[in-house]
């Protein structure tokens, strides 16, 4: 079909202002030769399902669906820091073009439609597209591309690589953009599917091993001073995967949930979390806040200035600078190594894709940035997946990344030691000066929004830069306090994709067949009209009808003017000959 469209664009429009009857006939002959070739070679000789075994059939079905290359770096969207302009590569644009056809007013609705497509297939397409041939074909192909690409994301990569590609994939689904490292937020991407810009923190874990957590300091900053005024909170999209098999043979499902952290519920949620102590507030601070005072806890309690134990977000540029230095030293010591061409642009792409700030899967047991070491096995797997076209060339990056992370740990080692400030806070805790988590949450609930912001900045987790965490049961709880929404489940796997294709194969075959049939009838009508000396008007009308039938699909919409013009030229030629 793409060959036919190209011929029409290059030949019809090129000559439409200088066409005579001989050239018109020559062009029609060229087009029909192309169509005949497509029909004879591609359609007539297509393999029949009954003649193949199950594995061959599966491979054939998967090849029928357009293929999008999965690339962590290629899928990234970059925003310039000075002008905040989105820059999208061709792979990202291609992905977005397909996923933009998935129906739904918001993320939950789109996931629900995708889930329904697995069971309803052609019925769902008919429900959304009606009798519009273009929409039928476009939506069916887009849903199939979604299933095939998601399966590649989850089954082709290790946990950390799949996590980042999955993030890019969902951001494209919701017309969103990813937030680069150092973006002063705990969010991973911004959802623009609805009428609001919603910051989203994404978690993808195996079922039974889910943990929703991160920097308590960063979470509080997002709630106290939100970057997105249309949504003054933080949305968590939580996904659990249950897969069986290995590598490309994995099959199973991904389950989607979501809940929101807001000023009103953050204390209640964290009271029931793994580390409820992060919300504790000093009694004097709470009393001052309740009385309407706006003095900070550190000033009120006369605490020394906090040591520079930076948050993960604040440490990202420190890590980036350390990595740049390590790479430049390596290039100087190894001038003939292929990594010599690794420039600033490649470094920026690496930092973006690695997602050091939030990617817990590349660390060993200790996940806190500035304290935890990177895992060599995990980093090696990530490099192999991220640079799959030539992993050997980028192998030195494994040791360079680990060394850069160690540089950050050394820089922060002094701050990680017990400081005078921390000693004072510990003494206050031992003296019973801090409210219990339960009392803190209760009194927090009686505060107004402005007071709640002050309370969060006065809490123990904020003063000590601690981490919060919810286990799976806490994170997917449909009741209070999270009120988590169960969005639905999407089946993935090669056989699952083939099943979905089978459910709409007849629909697609019918639509494409109609286009070829109309092309054949157009050719026959034109041939008869010309062969009859331009006398049989019924053949001209038949040509017009079939030209309109083809162009109504909008697959050839750019050529509609040409077809109409060509028909007009026939009548004009006939009238001249009659005169």
How many Cβ atoms sit within 10 Å of the Cβ of residue 22?
8
263: Cα separation from own chain's centroid: 27
287 and 424 assigned to the same domain: yes
Q: What is the DSSP-derived secondary structure letter of residue 437?
A: H
Would you list the DSSP string of 345-392? Answer: HHHHHHHHHH-TTT-GGGB-S--STTTPPBPHHHHHHHHHHHTTTSTT
Q: Give which of 100, 107, 98 is closest to 149, Cα–Cα.
A: 98
Q: Give the range among 2-6, 359-363, 512-516, 546-550 with minimum mean pLDDT.
A: 2-6
148: Cα separation from own chain's centroid: 14
Q: Is residue 75 part of a domain?
A: no
User: When comparing pLDDT for 375 and 134, which is higher?
Assistant: 375
148 and 36 assigned to the same domain: no
Q: Is residue 161 part of a domain?
A: yes
User: When comparing pLDDT for 73 and 399, which is higher?
Assistant: 399
Q: Could you report the per-residue pLDDT of 136-190, keeping only the tens digit for each?
A: 777 787 888 888 888 888 776 554 455 667 888 898 899 888 887 666 788 989 9
The number of domains in the chain is: 3
- Both structure tokens of 109: 């609705």
Average pLDDT over residues 273-289: 95
* Total-model pTM: 0.65
pLDDT attached to residue 191: 94
pLDDT at 537 over 70: no
Average pLDDT over residues 467-477: 93
pLDDT attached to residue 194: 84
317 and 426 assigned to the same domain: yes
pLDDT attached to residue 60: 57
Q: Give the range among 144-153, 315-324, 541-550 with minimum mean pLDDT.
A: 541-550
Range among 12-21, 91-100, 242-251, 272-281 rated most confident = 272-281
pLDDT at 468 over 90: yes
Q: Is residue 405 part of a domain?
A: yes
Q: Is residue 42 part of a domain?
A: yes
How is the beta sheet containing 189-191 ordered, strand by strand?
177-178, 189-191, 198-206, 234-244, 251-261, 485-492
337 and 270 assigned to the same domain: no
439 and 362 assigned to the same domain: yes
Residue 423, classified by CB atoms within 10 Å of its CB into exposed (0-12), middle (13-18) or buried (19+), is: exposed
pLDDT attached to residue 528: 54
* pLDDT band for position 380 (cuts 50, 70, 90): very high
User: When comparing pLDDT for 246 and 328, which is higher?
Assistant: 328
pLDDT at 452 over 70: yes
* pLDDT band for position 273 (cuts 50, 70, 90): very high
Q: At what angle do helices 494-531 and 21-37 cross, to 10 degrees?
A: 150
Q: Is residue 130 part of a domain?
A: yes
420 and 461 assigned to the same domain: yes
Domain span at 171 = 87-275+484-492
444 and 321 assigned to the same domain: yes
The whole-angstrom separation of Cα 419 and Cα 411 is 16
Residues of the chain with pLDDT > 70, as a percent, come to 68
Q: Is residue 14 part of a domain?
A: yes
334 and 308 assigned to the same domain: yes
Q: Is residue 435 part of a domain?
A: yes
431 and 539 assigned to the same domain: no
Residues of the chain with pLDDT > 90, as a percent, come to 32
247 and 303 assigned to the same domain: no
Q: Give which of 510, 521, 516, 499 is closest to 556, Cα–Cα.
A: 516
Average pLDDT over residues 532-549: 55
What average pLDDT does the structure give for the chain? 76
Q: 485 - beta bridge partners?
A: 258
Residue whose entry in the numeric block shows the structure tokens 């939506």: 139
530 φ, ψ (degrees, to nearest 5) = -70, -45
pLDDT at 409 over 70: yes
Q: Is residue 77 part of a domain?
A: no
227 and 141 assigned to the same domain: yes
Q: How far apart are the first and last CA of the chain?
A: 40
224 and 143 assigned to the same domain: yes
Q: How many residues does the chain have?
A: 579
- Both structure tokens of 242: 């249950």
């Amino acid at each position: 079909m793409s060959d036919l469209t190209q011929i029409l664009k290059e030949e019809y429009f090129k000559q439409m202002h200088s066409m005579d009857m001989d050239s018109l006939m020559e062009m029609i002959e060229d087009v029909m030769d192309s169509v005949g070739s497509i029909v004879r070679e591609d359609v007539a000789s297509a393999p029949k399902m009954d003649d193949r075994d199950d594995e061959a059939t599966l491979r054939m079905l998967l090849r029928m669906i357009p293929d999008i290359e999965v690339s962590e770096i290629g899928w990234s969207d970059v925003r310039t820091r000075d002008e905040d302009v989105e820059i999208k590569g061709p792979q990202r644009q291609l992905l977005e073009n397909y996923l933009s056809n998935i129906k739904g007013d918001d993320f939950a609705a789109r996931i629900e439609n995708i889930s329904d497509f697995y069971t309803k297939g052609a019925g769902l397409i008919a429900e959304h597209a009606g009798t519009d041939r273009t929409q039928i074909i476009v939506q069916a192909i887009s849903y199939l591309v979604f299933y095939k690409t998601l399966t590649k994301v989850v089954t082709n990569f290790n946990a950390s690589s799949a996590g980042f590609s999955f993030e890019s994939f969902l951001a494209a689904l919701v017309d969103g953009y990813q937030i680069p490292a150092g973006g002063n937020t705990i969010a991973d991407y911004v959802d623009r599917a609805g009428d609001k810009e919603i910051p989203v923190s994404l978690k993808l874990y195996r079922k039974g091993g889910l943990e929703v957590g991160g920097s308590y300091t960063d979470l509080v900053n997002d709630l106290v001073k939100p970057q997105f005024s249309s949504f003054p909170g933080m949305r968590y999209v939580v996904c659990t995967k249950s897969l069986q098999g290995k590598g490309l043979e994995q099959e199973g499902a991904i389950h989607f949930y979501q809940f929101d952290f807001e000023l009103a519920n953050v204390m209640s949620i964290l009271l029931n979390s793994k580390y409820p102590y992060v919300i504790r507030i000093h009694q004097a601070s709470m009393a001052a806040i309740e009385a309407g005072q706006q003095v900070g806890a550190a000033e009120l309690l006369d605490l020394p200035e906090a040591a520079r134990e930076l948050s993960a977000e604040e440490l990202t540029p420190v890590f980036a600078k350390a990595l740049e230095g390590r790479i430049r030293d390596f290039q100087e010591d190894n001038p003939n190594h292929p990594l010599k061409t690794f420039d600033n642009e490649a470094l920026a792409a690496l930092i973006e894709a690695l997602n050091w700030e939030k990617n817990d899967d590349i660390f060993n047991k200790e996940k806190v940035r500035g304290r935890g070491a990177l895992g060599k096995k995990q980093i090696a797997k990530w490099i192999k997946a991220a640079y799959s076209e030539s992993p050997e060339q980028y192998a030195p990056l494994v040791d360079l990344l680990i060394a850069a992370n160690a540089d950050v740990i050394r820089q922060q080692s002094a701050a990680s030691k017990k400081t005078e400030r921390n000693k004072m806070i510990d003494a206050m805790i031992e003296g019973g000066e801090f409210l219990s988590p339960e009392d803190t949450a209760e009194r927090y609930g009686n505060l107004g929004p402005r007071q709640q912001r002050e309370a969060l900045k006065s809490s123990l987790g904020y003063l000590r830069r601690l981490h919060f965490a919810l286990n799976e049961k806490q994170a997917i709880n449909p009741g209070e306090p999270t009120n988590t929404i169960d969005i639905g489940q999407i089946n993935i796997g090669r056989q699952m994709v083939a099943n979905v294709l089978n459910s709409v194969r007849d629909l697609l075959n019918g639509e494409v067949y109609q286009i070829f049939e109309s092309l054949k009838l157009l050719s026959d009508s034109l041939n008869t009209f010309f062969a009859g000396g331009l006398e049989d008007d019924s053949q001209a009308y038949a040509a017009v009808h079939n030209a309109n039938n083809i162009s109504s699909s909008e697959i050839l919409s750019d050529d509609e003017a040409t077809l109409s013009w060509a028909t007009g030229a026939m009548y004009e030629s006939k009238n001249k000959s009659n005169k």
